[in-house]
Structure 1
């Protein structure tokens, strides 16, 4: 009996030692990350915390780049940022808690706070409107909210494969397989622990994935900051449905130049597991694909000066897959904004 107790005690001490080592490793790695990957832009004091904003080039209107629900932050635009800055001033930034930006305090209105943070950073940095707002994925929802709150500052809009306010309506009644639901629940509990004890960092270090047209340096930087950014990302993902509801009525941008780039996913080629991971079932795939076309066309109706281009052979990250298309789209909107101003 005594021997068994000693075995249990030894195991517990080993686990505690392992956890202590992991926590120390993670904290040291976080400090090293800030040294190895210094911020490209400026850390702007927006009131008790700093927001990272990276503005390049000269000219007006200023292009503002908003990333989607991921941990790439300002580096989501690394394949297009410099090229756009050759034409006009172009700013990418990290939302609070992502990459180089400090996390925000607890909030009851994430959408409004994200828009307010960006506006404060732009005002303090003396980046004067008019702005052309460019949003990838859920970044399109964020810039829609920004346009509602600061509409006089927004002269043009570009949505890159961004969700529609009714995105979830067709799939809300789809039953997620029990095993997948349990897996997601367990992951939500375990992932923060993995971030703290260094396990996320160890796993990331083994991965060699990079987007097309993304440098290895930027890929490694995103991986290095991921354990810090993951908590904020989880909060934003939990706010997904709430965010879409907040922009349901925001469908009138007047005659602002607007351009929609969308990717039509061929769900018929996905396996049942892949569909389940996307919250879909095979029997609604035709309706979902038709809904995607409807939603992009509907987004294009939100302005009387709007254009739409759909892709069928690309990924969700169009700015990496087809950077020239994104650059040309933004340049077109810049020219339209200038034409209206003349």
Structure 2
């Protein structure tokens, strides 16, 4: 698997290391790294089939994605504690990692995460109330389908989206339905953009596929649900916070890398104080 590390030589024994988990199709957290002090070590990696990582058809479930990351850390002899940073679809993955390896995780930072906690009943209700034809769960699947076939996307994005689509087709984040509560010693930082400006690609997709999304009302309903879900996720956790950013774009750490870097550093420092 392809990966790159930063400041490993500066890491002191027992200190956290940042483990970055990209969104659907991959991506980089490079805008953040120069803003972090050089004593904070980190690793970015590329999931199966993305970038220079070889595709592996055996990786089908999200649990296998998480296990592969854990195996990489073990192979590289990168010891815990891990402070995982997940963007978008990477948010659910780091939550699953914390469920499977709770004693190895000291912190989680969610950057505008996908709402994996949304139930079918909530999804249908929000669609109806917003007077829309397509729900959040439905659009999530559609985006995966589009990305897996889009000629303008990389081969790695095709593979990543196809794998995620296979998993979600068995039920919306079905692997997450019975996760144990988040271990309260894990500091959780959730950064959510809400009341987003409606972007041209969203409007074009809506028109092209006749999705019938009443965007402002639609986002209002699903934003409120996502905020409620993540607030409940971290309510019992020490050194945790929910940060709400009105009218920010989905790419929060591109729009304001200084803010995200500070929030990551705050989470890191909260462990050092223990």
Normalising TM by the smaller chain, what interval?
Answer: 0.7 to 0.9
Provide the C-alpha distance between the structure 2 equivalents of 1:190 and 1:90, rounded to a whole number of angstroms: 28
Q: Match of 2:159?
A: 231
Superposition deviation, residue 157 in structure 1: 1.1
Query: Which has the higher mean CA deviation after the structures are superposed, 158-167 or 134-143?
Result: 158-167
Give the total of aligned pairs: 252
Shift of residue 273, structure 1, vs aligned partner: 6.2
Aligned CA distance change for structure 1 residues 188 and 156 (closer, same or farther; 3 Å): closer
Task: After TM superposition, give the deviation of residue 302 of structure 1 in Å.
Answer: 5.3
Decide whether the 8 Å contact of 2:184 with 2:236 is kept in 1.
yes
Cα 1:162/1:279, change in 2 over 3 Å: farther
Contact in 1 for aligned 2:195/2:220 (Cα 8 Å): no
Equivalence for 2:16: 61
Find the aligned partners of 1:92 and 1:278 in 2 and give their Cα distance: 38
Note closer, same or farther for the CA distance 1:80–1:191 as it changes in structure 2 (3 Å cut): closer
CA distance in 1: counterparts of 2:72 and 2:88, whole angstroms? 22
- Alignment of 1:124 onto 2:70: no
Query: Does the residue aligned with 2:228 lie in a helix, a strand or coil?
Result: helix
Which of the numbers 177, 180, 199 marks the counterpart of 1:248? Answer: 177
Matches within 5 A, 1:311-322: 311-322=245-256
Q: CA deviation at 1:278?
A: 11
Which of residues 42, 50, 65 in structure 2 aligns to 1:90?
A: 42
- Whole-angstrom distance in 1 between the partners of 2:147 and 2:92: 29
Q: Please state whether the residue corresponding to 1:92 is helix, strand or coil.
A: strand
- Structure possessing the higher radius of gyration over alpha carbons: 1
Q: Distance in 1 between matches of 2:186 and 2:197?
A: 33
Match of 1:86, SS state, is coil
Matched, 1:327 2:255: no
Aligned partner of 2:237 in structure 1 is 303
Question: In structure 2, how many angstroms separate the alpha carbons of the residues matched to 1:331 and 1:66?
Answer: 17
Contiguous gaps of at least 5 residues in structure 1: 1-50, 195-199, 205-222
Shift of 1:176: 4.0
Q: Which residue of 2 aligns with 1:139?
A: 90
Bigger share in helix: 1
User: 1:120 deviation in Å?
Assistant: 1.1
Deviation, 1:321, is 1.1
- Supply the RMSD in Å over aligned alpha carbons: 3.4
The structure-2 alpha-carbon separation of the partners of 1:249 and 1:265, relative to structure 1 and needing over 3 Å to count, comes to farther
Q: Is the 8 A contact 1:264 1:310 kept in 2?
A: yes
Alpha-carbon distance in structure 1 between the residues aligned to 2:77 and 2:134 = 48
Distance 1:249 1:190 in 2: 29
Secondary structure of the 1:162 match is: coil
1:79 aligns to what? 31
Cα shift at 1:78: 1.2
